Amino acid sequence: MRIIDVIVIGTTVMLMLGVIVILLVMLQQKMVIQHKLDIRDKDLQLQRERLIAVLQGQEQERKRIAEDLHDEVGAQLSVLKLNLGGLQPLLKTGNGETERLKETKDFTDTIIQQLRFISQSLHPQALENLGLAHALDSFCNLMNKNKQVKIAFKTAGNGQTVDREKALNVYRVVQELINNILKHAQATDVLITYQTTPSLLTVTVEDNGNGALLTSLSASRAKTGSLGLKNIESRLNIIGGNINFTPGTPQGTIATISVENYQTPAQNS
């Protein structure tokens, strides 16, 4: 083999080696990044699973407390109310005993009412029995009894049932939003609108407050320890939903929760 042939072959080999080195560098770095991304994905998945487990545990505990309160304390209070009613004919008149007994009965009634409210807030029974729209309606009625703010509920749905887990999370998000409105917004009227299409569930919470909710939300986003918004975001993240805050006209805030593919898998297919 002549020297020129060696040079031609050698140059070609060197060129190919150069190309191989470049390709190997590119591929190797891509593989390392891909591996890193895979690990990050797995980590996120693990965190998500943990969060779901925590929330499920929380819900189970809430359900247990709500049932205990309703079935045991509630029942005992009802018995107490009946007993107080039974005492009425036995009382002497003239010394104000009847009035005091009536006051005690009214006070027992208030405790029973508050107990129902707490029990309902802890675990909305209507959600399991009647679905999200009815549960939200019942939540509004319950809030109207106890608070100064007037909460109206409007539904424009076609009656499609929402997946149980998604319904519970949306319910909790609405609950959290109403709590925020009561705490910060100084609103007098709140309107909850419930809308469904075959693929999208939209719940809008509109208030006529001072709009401070928007600023308090952006401030709490920056804070690390803000649980309210984190809860909202985590819950919606789990069910693949999202929330959007916009200023209301002429005042207040509009929070729009939207969840795609909200129906149970069997219904979707």
> Shortest approach of other proteins to residue 14 CB, angstroms?
4
> Shortest approach of other proteins to residue 158 CB, angstroms?
43
Interface with other proteins by CB under 8 A: which residues? 2-5, 7-8, 10-12, 14-15, 17-19, 21-22, 25-26, 28-30, 32-33, 36-37
Question: Is residue 17 helix, strand or coil?
Answer: helix
Look at the chain and count its residues: 269
Q: Could you give the CA distance from residue 255 to residue 41 in angstroms, rounded to a whole number?
A: 30
Smaller CB separation from other proteins, 34 or 179: 34
> Shortest approach of other proteins to residue 9 CB, angstroms?
9
Smaller CB separation from other proteins, 18 or 85: 18
Strand order in the sheet with 241-247: 150-156, 189-196, 200-207, 253-260, 241-247
> Shortest approach of other proteins to residue 159 CB, angstroms?
45
Nearest to 161, CA basis, from 121, 116, 130, 205? 130
Smaller CB separation from other proteins, 18 or 57: 18
**Helices 227-239 and 3-68 sit at what angle, rounded to 10 degrees?**
110
Nearest to 195, CA basis, from 161, 169, 166, 158? 158
Pairing of strands 241-247, 189-196: unpaired
Smaller CB separation from other proteins, 45 or 110: 45
> Shortest approach of other proteins to residue 199 CB, angstroms?
32
> Shortest approach of other proteins to residue 42 CB, angstroms?
15
Smaller CB separation from other proteins, 28 or 45: 28
> Is 160:195 a contact under the CB 8 Å cutoff?
no
Nearest to 220, CA basis, from 259, 251, 183? 183
Cis peptide bond upstream of 250, omega within 30:
yes
Smaller CB separation from other proteins, 31 or 75: 31
